[in-house]
Every structure is written in structure tokens, then in C-alpha cells.
Structure 1
Amino acid sequence: MVSCAFDLDAYQAVIFDMDGTLLDSADAIRQVCSRWCAIHQLDVEQVLAMCHGSRIRDFLPELAPHLDADLEEAWLNAEEAEETNGIVPIEGAHAMLRLLELRGTNWGIATSSAGPVARMRLGTLGFPIPQVLITAEYVKRGKPDPEHFELAAKHLNAEPDRCLAFEDSANGVAAALAAGCDVVVVGEAGQYLYPQHQRIVGRISDYQSILAVIEQTGVR
């Protein structure tokens, strides 16, 4: 699954999601969610499906209205910030960021994870911490609302419609499109999202594939 139809020079900035886009944290998230679901007798598969690309406070009122969103989010964030097992980089992600740095391309991250969780995961895997790191605490409304990407673009001194976003989840892709960004969908899970949308300009399995296309076709 490799398709690319964009010119990097056409964009003022690049905005990455984190989980599922720069790194795979699915195993770590499952471990923490399993412990949390066991405490509250919730279905872990349902929780994992609902939290993909979203903050827990955005779906907890629907899932378990008897629970306090602030307390549960704090517990989950604390656990996730300590869970270093089960996180691995998406193949080629380090090289992609190095390419952007070499090109002088402005980039940042817009993630539904909390700040301590995001910094731990990035640091554990040796990713640079960008100056623009928009995490769950910065927004009033989580993805699929466009606020994450609108705020990231603002701090990158870019217009959202001049940004290229990399996303893996349905909520994340919807958020980026709603903000006006062009989007590259990362991973097999997003292969069939918005199949005809004109602002989805690429679909990749990992960054090795896109780097190969850049090298072979001169996509810049």
C-alpha cells in the first residue's frame, strides 16, 4: 500500500499524530487498558476501539457515565506514562524526521496522548521532542474535532490548509481533514478511509515506503 501525490515544498509545515503514526504503542495501551477494564468490569475490546485516536474524556460519558472522567483519565495517564514495554517505532519514522530536519521543514506533533505519556514514548524510542507538541491537555475538544491540528498549525506559524498531516485513525484523519490539512494515511487500518477524498494525498504502510518513493520519483 503505497501512494503519494504531493510536493513537500508546497507545504508550510508537517503535522504528525504520534500513536500509530510515528510509533506503535498498541501493546502498551492494551496492557494499561486491560488493568483499568478489570477494575471497572468493562469490555477491553470495546474500550480499545473507542479510544483509537481519542481522549478517554471524550467517550467515557457514553461508555461509563458513572465514572469520574478527571479521575479515570489521571489514573490512565499515570499508568501509561510508566509503561515503557510494548512501544516500537514505525519503520522508517526516524529517517523521515531526519529528512525533514535536513530539508529545514517545519514540523510538529498533534496527539491525543497526555504530555507526560507523549514525552516518555518519544524519549524512550529516541525521537526528538519537537517545539510544537500539542497533547490532550491543550485542547478543549479531542479528535475528530479539528482543534488539535488547528492549534498545531497556529504554533507552527502555518495555515492549516498549507499543512500536511500524517494520521492513522478514523478520528485523526477526520480531524485533520476538518482543519483543512492534506493528509497521508499511515498503516493498514486506514487503507479504506475516505477512498475518494481529494485531500488524502497519500497512503503508506510505513515511512520506508514513502522514503523509497521520494528517492525514486523525486517527490519533494
Structure 2
Amino acid sequence: MDPASAPIEVVHDFSFLGLFLQADPIVKGVMILLVVASIACWTVVFEKLVRLSGAKRQARSFATLVGSGGTLDGKGTGLAAHITQAGLEAWRDQDPTETRAERRDRIERAMRAALAVDVKRLRGGLTLLATAGSTAPFIGLFGTVWGIMNSFSAIAKSQDTSLAVVAPGIAEALFATAIGLVVAIPAVMAYNKLTGDVSHVQGSFVSSIATLGNRLARDRGVQSRAAAAE
């Protein structure tokens, strides 16, 4: 047999980049979508880690301030300042006819409302992690199914069932599933961790709010100290 007439073997690149470049356009689009989702998820994770770190410090400082009976001024920024300011504003708006229990309940409601606004901001972006964690495997599976369909089409066209014919298409298809899992697993883990941290911060503030509300309801000297601080 003349070597020159021998069929030329097609060399397939099974590296990550090679699998992406050789993939079907639809499978390639699935891969790009998953990579973009992964970048977005990691952006949310790092942003939440920074913000939650600051929120935890503020929760500890707020609990220390409330427990020590320190002076309240409601100035500054952050969760603690917003909550303190809401409590002081509710305290100043007093009704001589209300009981101490009613005054305490009104002050605590004002502080919990301020806390809810800040907690909502902390939770912003977590839905993206939940969505990516639940849908990324199925998006990757769609790319896998499409790639396997192309492999069977290649078998039908070439009338050859050898592994060399189907292996490239199957490898590209399974690569899409792998990317989907790489996106989903960290997203689910990060969502659970960050959701737990937000709940912990919220619980810490709620506990301190109950103590502060009781203090503001009975302490007649708070207004004078707050005015002196201003």
C-alpha cells in the first residue's frame, strides 16, 4: 500500500482549550454561559465576604456598646449606626400616654425595621448563587446531550462505530457537564455559608436590639446624653 494514499488521521486536542475550540457552536455557547456564570458567582462571593466581615465586627461592637451601657449618638455609617439612630429617633418621639412596654415595643420595631433594610442589602446577590447552583448542572447537561447527539450523527455519516469517531464529541459533551458542576458546587456551598453568616449577624443584632430597646424605654437620661453628644 502506498503510504501517500493512506488516510490522514485527524489529531484531536483533548486539553481544556482544545475541547472548547473544537466543540459544536451550541456546546461552545453553553460553556461560555457557564464560565460567565462562574465569574459572576465568584464576584458575589468575594463581595459578600468583605461586607459580612465588616457586619460581624459591627455586630460585636454594637453588642459590647449595648452591654456596657455606653453613650449612644447614632452617628456614623453601617448597620450599628443605622439601628442606633432609628432607636433614638423613636425614643425622642414619645407619647406621654403610652406605657413603658408600649414604648419599648415601638422603639424595638423601629430598630428592627432599620436592621431589615440593611439585612436585605446583605442578602442581595445570594439569589444568583442559588440560581447558579440549581441550574448550572442542567445547563451543562444540555450541552452534553447536544454533544452526544452530534456524536451519533457522526457515526451515521461515517458508518464507523469506532471509538476514534465518537470519542471527540463525547469528550466535548462531558466537558460541558464538568463545567456545570464546577459552577454549581461552589455556588451551593457559598450560598449555604453566606446565608448562615447573614442569619448569624441578624440574630446578633436582634438580641442586642432587645436589650437596647428595654434600656431606652426606661432610661430617662438617654435624651440628655444624646443631645450632649450632638
**Normalised by the size of structure 2, how large is the TM-score?**
0.21
Highest CA radius of gyration, 1 or 2? 2
Structure with the largest fraction of helix:
2
**Normalised by the size of structure 1, how large is the TM-score?**
0.21
Structure with the largest fraction of strand:
1
